[in-house]
Structure 1
């Protein structure tokens, strides 16, 4: 196949997991790095597990991440439709085609019959598998006579279409990430290809769609690696050229073994979904990265490095930079361990790269009470963003700019306040704060405080610590003169008086 075409094909059975975002991102980066096309296809044949709103959630999440599809259900394209539920007319023809080969057969076994057989096997300590060792003894077109099959079909007896796995064949398979390996067909069962309602299962529908949509590379999670043998044989059965495959390793939980799950997120206090998701049945809300204050650029940068290393071990890359550098051959075979601390580090880095104006727009889009003029808000952002991991930290860490303290940290009070402090601050206020006149800037205030301390033969700590406590309520925050400039002389005077009255 000449043109690189990849697809991300999620099922709308719930919110998009961190691992799903990474698969979509690697699909996108690979396609764009090769001058190819990225397709979003919705695989909604599993009607029993379908979740209302999940498809819309997937599209919104990818949009927030900046992962833009060239073709999708919403955008359309030359291979539409892009929802499997709307492609039934296409699948029906291929079902007829594969049944004419020696790679498929129809099976009339009911769920109850198969459950009874499984129970028999379990009773004697065995595991039942519908495969080349059992299929000739079951109720299917391989074991029944032509007359029996015809009668069952005339009576409209429900049936499924199963793949007829070849006997004792060694399949030499190849994966871009994992290299070459072999599988013996005796270890594989006869998977259902078409359900009794006529809809194909994932196994059959996805290879039909990939063929129809001219997909050149299939990038997916390692949970699909055991299906590679079946899928390779399906391409063989249909006499189609198979795409190249790449199976991504797991994203691992922060501690211990196993795949990262929502339970781990709840336990360690971080999201595993890109956006908030409300379960339509229970009403339970799963927290998302967007609503937790992560910037999309930081989130995507973090996700990209969960299993791939760019040149020179660079860590901060834009989506364009990732596209230029991405190499599927450099994706790691081993699982990538998720780190909440590293995710926060990425967000902190991107907060620092944002201009004050950009951060102001982000804060204005929140539900924070920013009842100050933009000019002051921009100055507050400039002072506070260095300490911020999330945009809301600018407000939370600088709350004293918006609200006067109503209490004073006990430990800080013992350190900063003594019997002389009230008189020192009273005199300082009278000396440097011109309530009716022009407001001073931080540099002027700093010099005035220094001159006052020198004149009174006081160490700067004797003045600055209680002044900070009066203004902030704690011994934290940016330089005191910067705080004073933003609060204004009248507010500074009021806060000094409040503190003096509190420590009487």
Structure 2
């Protein structure tokens, strides 16, 4: 590519950013970085009625959390700003009027009421009202009014909009990097509004003008914009501008059934659909997901590397990403697979990092400071992390390392606690008390020797021991647990179980 690649992510600040939006940003980012290009953030806030305070900052924070740092955007002007469309609104009217002068657009004075009446009339006849070549010469616009009448209406302050004049009887040849070649009959297109009566451009005009002025080379966006491709193609031609290459990404589909993944799906099935929390909706960050796991699973929703590899760091994705491996069909969202990805990234992290993430929860529980040191937590984490998908899983997997069990699994008690168990446990206390080198390997050696000497079965000793130490039949190697909780605590737990709980 001789021309420098420049792509943009252009969300509207109308609420939280859906993960489909993050995936669009990710694919733009990967493509830009793969080709040593620029990734631009543009805020498309022309629809002031739908503007939501805080949404822009949410978008920026979401991108930053995912590691998708934009090269240009709000606060990072590289000579192509401003990057909020509301701050560029003075630009657009000139371009709309330039299209009128060149015969590619026209003023329309039809009121909302008049258009509604036309629609109702068409519906009554079983037809659909479309404002285009069929009827534009019968409606109230500068195509049917004289230049003088048009000027008088504008000068008198009468409301008007500017519509694009779609050419009649043209077969448009369009190309999409992902979907290939398409042919569209211009006669099925409507004369879209380019400039509204409130003095703001519509998405279509502002989008094309900004992409041209910001020298965007590739437009990578969601499938929902595919119906706009013909209009945008015509707009570029009407301005006489070079047309960027387009790529329309497949939808992210619901886990069950057809249709686009929605907030409601997440609420119903219990998983996030936003990168960060928004109002009452939980985000991936707050649900305990690592950003690199989110980026990884989003990358593989609709794209594949052509190999069996599933785990990719961001730099690895940049190296292998290409638009020709993006699929046309929708990508089904799998909540369980997202957990699998988080599990994989949790396993990759050092015990020290995980201990640092776990420590604040322990400090809130009034656990003695002697066992909430990072060194101690690190040892605990090393024993339980294989079973964890999230850092938030650690407490349920390791609570018994930090406090004695308050309850004992009733089913396990019935199965493991026999008539001779109290006597065996009392003898075991004596064995443990006599061990000077209280390490996992040494404890295991001496306890097993004692079991052999006493001619006991392991089933008589080990399951009840785990029950009194942990409270249930779970956890890692029991001798590792004994070492970490220490001799005094090990003996206390056995005695407590004998006197206060199980023996009664």
- TM-score band w.r.t. shorter chain: over 0.9
SS at structure 1 position matched to 2:246: strand
Distance across 2 between alignment mates of 1:403 and 1:186: 75
Distance across 1 between alignment mates of 2:335 and 2:172: 41
Give 2:326's match in structure 1, choosing from 322, 328, 331: 331
Tell me whether 1:340 sits opposite 2:338 in the alignment: no
- Indicate the residue corresponding to 2:311 in structure 1: 316
Instruction: Give the paired residue count.
Output: 496
Native 8 Å contact 2:28 2:39 kept in 1:
yes
Distance across 1 between alignment mates of 2:436 and 2:16: 56
- Indicate the residue corresponding to 2:291 in structure 1: 296
Distance across 2 between alignment mates of 1:323 and 1:133: 48
Offset, 1:6:
0.3
Offset, 1:368:
6.7
Offset, 1:21:
0.7
Distance across 1 between alignment mates of 2:278 and 2:373: 34
Tell me whether 1:38 sits opposite 2:45 in the alignment: no
SS at structure 1 position matched to 2:429: helix
- Indicate the residue corresponding to 1:492 in structure 2: 490
Q: Cα deviations across residues 234-279 of structure 1 (Å, max 9, x unaligned)?
A: 001111001000000101111111111111111221111111111x
Native 8 Å contact 1:265 1:271 kept in 2:
yes
Distance across 2 between alignment mates of 1:365 and 1:296: 20
Offset, 1:3:
0.5
SS at structure 1 position matched to 2:39: strand
- Indicate the residue corresponding to 1:281 in structure 2: none
Tell me whether 1:351 sits opposite 2:346 in the alignment: yes
Native 8 Å contact 2:306 2:325 kept in 1:
no
Distance across 2 between alignment mates of 1:368 and 1:392: 14
Offset, 1:346:
0.7
- Indicate the residue corresponding to 1:282 in structure 2: none
- Indicate the residue corresponding to 1:80 in structure 2: 81
Distance across 1 between alignment mates of 2:75 and 2:58: 13
- Indicate the residue corresponding to 2:454 in structure 1: 456
SS at structure 2 position matched to 1:114: helix
Distance across 2 between alignment mates of 1:261 and 1:182: 31
Native 8 Å contact 2:24 2:220 kept in 1:
yes
Tell me whether 1:13 sits opposite 2:14 in the alignment: yes
1:366 to 1:322, Cα distance in 2 relative to 1, 3 A: farther
Native 8 Å contact 2:359 2:374 kept in 1:
no
1:341 to 1:45, Cα distance in 2 relative to 1, 3 A: same
Structure 1 stretches of at least 4 aligned residues deviating more than 6 Å after TM superposition: none
- Indicate the residue corresponding to 1:140 in structure 2: 141
SS at structure 1 position matched to 2:266: helix
Q: Cα deviations across residues 122-170 of structure 1 (Å, max 9, x unaligned)?
A: 2222211111112111111112222321221121001111101111111
SS at structure 2 position matched to 1:127: coil
Listed as ranges, the matches of 1:240-279 within 5 Å are 240-278=241-279
Give 1:445's match in structure 2, choosing from 434, 443, 446: 443
Q: Cα deviations across residues 431-479 of structure 1 (Å, max 9, x unaligned)?
A: 2125xx8561111111122122112211112111111111111100001
Select between 102-111 and 357-366 the one with higher mean Cα deviation: 357-366
- Indicate the residue corresponding to 1:430 in structure 2: 430
Distance across 2 between alignment mates of 1:137 and 1:26: 45
Q: Cα deviations across residues 284-307 of structure 1 (Å, max 9, x unaligned)?
A: x11111111111111100000001
Offset, 1:369:
3.6
Offset, 1:367:
7.8
Native 8 Å contact 1:439 1:488 kept in 2:
no
Distance across 2 between alignment mates of 1:52 and 1:403: 45
1:82 to 1:359, Cα distance in 2 relative to 1, 3 A: same
- Indicate the residue corresponding to 2:402 in structure 1: 402
- Indicate the residue corresponding to 2:378 in structure 1: 378
SS at structure 2 position matched to 1:172: strand
- Indicate the residue corresponding to 2:466 in structure 1: 468
1:288 to 1:106, Cα distance in 2 relative to 1, 3 A: same
Listed as ranges, the matches of 1:99-248 within 5 Å are 99-248=100-249
Distance across 2 between alignment mates of 1:425 and 1:355: 37
1:114 to 1:223, Cα distance in 2 relative to 1, 3 A: same
Q: Cα deviations across residues 74-93 of structure 1 (Å, max 9, x unaligned)?
A: 32221111000000122232
Q: Give unmatched runs, 5+ long, in structure 1.
A: 279-284
Native 8 Å contact 1:384 1:478 kept in 2:
yes
- Indicate the residue corresponding to 1:92 in structure 2: 93
Q: Cα deviations across residues 31-63 of structure 1 (Å, max 9, x unaligned)?
A: 000111100110011111111111101100110
SS at structure 2 position matched to 1:308: coil
